[in-house]
Structure 1
Amino acid sequence: MSAMGRPLLVALHDGTPLPHPERVEALADVRHVGEDGLAGALPGADVLLVGGAGFTGIVRAWPADPALAPRWVHVAATGVEHVLFDALVRDSGLTLTNSRGIYDEAIAEYVLGLILALAKDLPGTLAHQRRREWRWRESERIGGRAVLVAGTGPIGRAIARQLRAAGLRVSGAGRTGRSGDPDFGTVYGGGELLAALGEADYIVLAAPLTPQTRGMIDERALRAMKPTARLVNVGRGGLVVQDALVDALRRGRLAGAALDVFEEEPLPDDSPLWDLPGVIVSPHMAGDVHGWRAAQAELFLDNLRRYLAGRPLRNVVDKERGYVSGRAGGP
């Protein structure tokens, strides 16, 4: 806490802070830093605002003395795996929040667009157009096709509702199997994943990256899929063993993929995914629609006011699970 009794807030960003930073500065003393300045700015701060999921050096900058570490860390993204290092997780007095709820509907629309693009071969149409080729061909219907959505949180649920409205048959994959789910109908538990993959025409990954989900789509999972199936990943690149996916696509054991996230971002120029047929590559943008930064700012400002008033925060992350759970979500 500063000498004026205001919280000391460190805002970590890549040069693009949240919109209207003066609104934050009216409530707290703010230090704007990049990763190279974080170690010097962080000791003694009350709050750390992490401006996205692309920062990898937070653990190296973290104060060795827990008394000098922030009491609240907010991540301006949904995924928080980059801040779940031991010192932060073990600190029982530290609250971690994220930006759950900002991206749900935008990502759901993006997934529907990707599935339509794959079914209608829109990449092929655009390629023929660039070459001025008039090449007639047939495309596929999406109505009645089976979709398995891996990840049953708010983003996965928004995807399920969007795809169901478009006429696809939707089921889910999560930690615990169940029937009668309002959005998914049937949710398959972890032990049922391989069988569920074999029934799906489209597999959509929208799960958080945790020790349990890392590499969930490996060679064994890919072999369980139908050769006519397509994979859509809007979750995290680490959910997929990328080399195994490339091999499956090259061998024709999978019909295609639409990938918005990757093990390494930006995707290296020499990655075979750029040129493989039936693959759509996008630069981690599924949820980034006009106005998303303003929505991020409003969420953080609401939580900052709650923090100052001693009220419960929104979107509290269960640090052991790695995501906002029902018992850690706040009001």
Structure 2
Amino acid sequence: MSADESPDVVVLRQKIHGLPSEGYAETLRERLPDRKNVVRARTPVEERELLREAPVATGFSIPEHVLADAENLELFACVFAGTGHLSMEAFEEQGVAVTNAAGVHGPNIAEQVVGSLIAFARRFHVAWRQKERNEWRSYQTTELQGSTVTVVGLGALGEAIVDRLDAFGVETVGVRYTPEKGGPTDEVVGFDDEQGFHDALARSEYVVVACPLTETTRGLLDANAFKTMDPDTVLVNVGRGPVVDTEALLDALRGNAIRGAALDVTDPEPLPEDHELWGFDNVLITPHNAGHTPKYWERMADIVAENVEKLDAGEDDFTNRVV
């Protein structure tokens, strides 16, 4: 960037899923050819200076004291789907619109969920253990087809999961804040419908958590919920760890009250090396890794480029706007 050029889009230094932000900047330049000066900040000083001039910034977060000096900033594109780490009040006071990365994770996380369901249905964990012992011995399995899957959360992620389950011949129940809106599932119940929610849990072979962490969802899968589930139920959590009460989950696993769990997120997180969850043969743990995909920056850049064009046109109905 020459001395007389002002940045149009600033890519902050923060990385995500081990992907360097330079790749993000390069992809944005491709999406905005010959129109936008996309600059990647390399140091804290550069970041502060660029944010004072740029109308658009994208990254994980902007500290409040830095945001206060970003006089020209109009849009911040957060590269996370969750924005609970941001001070929304500060952005509102500054008059800066905020968007998130909803939908970017859809294909990869949905594939992880489907993979987890198939792994438990076909009991691949048993095969791995027997392979380690060079043991050729038949074992019983089940089918995913004909089962009932409850998906807790019908946002972009939940919808992507349901879309991929369609080919497997399963019954689906969706849980959302506004059940009157319906959804892609065979049935929809509300978070505040205790009877409907527990009825879904009682008849589901698989319960998939794909919702954000809110006051409503914190501890939603508690001891009472596990008591309702059938012993053949598998829990899959790709949402947020605290949506599931860890002690209640441990009690359920200890007492064989559920068939098992596939956890990409935990509470606490990272999961300590000596945590009891590591010791269960019927618990698959991945280190908050479902969101990783080499296509992350491509999908994120598509959203940002579309919103930059809207900003240029004087529009403010930004895709994925949260503030």
Does residue 12 (structure 1) correspond to residue 13 (structure 2)? The answer is: yes
- The CA distance in 1 between the partners of 2:58 and 2:320, in whole Å, is 14
2:146 partner SS = coil
Partners of 1:28 and 1:313 in 2: CA distance? 23
**Distance in 1 of aligned mates of 2:216 and 2:260:** 25
Deviates most, 205-214 or 289-298: 289-298
Tell me if 1:32 matches 2:44: no
Change (3 A) 1:265 1:175: same
* Gaps in structure 2 of 5+ consecutive residues: none
The two structures, once aligned, show a CA RMSD in angstroms of 3.1
- What is the rounded CA distance, in whole Å, between the counterparts of 2:236 and 2:274 in structure 1? 21
Q: 2:211 is aligned with what amino acid?
A: A
Taking the aligned partners of 1:161 and 1:5, their CA distance within structure 2 comes to 43
2: distance between equivalents of 1:274 and 1:202? 21
Which of 108, 111, 120 aligns to 2:110? It is 108
On the 8 A contact 1:18/1:294 being kept in 2, the answer is no
- Code of the residue aligned with 1:115 in structure 2: it is L
Deviates more, 1:167-176 or 1:78-87: 78-87
Counterpart check, 1:160 vs 2:169:
no
Q: 1:108, 1:235 → 2: CA distance?
A: 11
Question: Partner of 1:306 in structure 2?
Answer: 310
Counterpart position of 1:87? 90
Say whether the 8 Å CA contact 2:205–2:230 is kept in structure 1.
yes
Distance 1:110 1:310, change over 3 A: same
The residue matched to 1:294 in structure 2 has which SS?
helix
2:166 is paired with a residue whose SS is helix
Asked if 1 retains the 8 angstrom alpha-carbon contact of 2:64 and 2:87, the reply is no
Q: State the distance in 2 between where 1:83 and 1:113 align.
A: 32
Superposed CA offset, 1:7-32 (max 9, x none): 46251313710526246577246352
Cα distance in 2 for partners of 1:32, 1:293 equals 16
| SS of structure 2 residue aligned to 1:222 | helix
Distance in 1, matches of 2:110 and 2:162, equals 8
CA contact (8 A) 1:12 1:34 kept: yes
Corresponding position of 1:76: 79
Q: CA deviation at 1:219?
A: 2.0
Quote the residue 2:100 is aligned against.
98
Stretches of structure 1 that go unaligned for 5 or more consecutive residues are 52-57, 320-331
**1:148 aligned partner, one-letter code:** T
Alpha-carbon offset, residue 217 of structure 1: 1.4
Once residues 43 and 142 of structure 2 are traced to their aligned partners in structure 1, the CA distance between those partners, rounded to angstroms, is 47
1:200/1:127 CA distance change after superposition, 3 Å: same
Quick check: 2:75–2:96 contact (8 Å CA) kept in 1?
yes
Aligned residues, how many?
309
- 1:189 alignment partner in structure 2: 190
* TM-score when normalising by structure 2: 0.82
Distance 1:316 1:161 in 2: 20
- In the other structure, the counterpart of 2:56 is 47
TM-score (norm. length: structure 1): 0.80
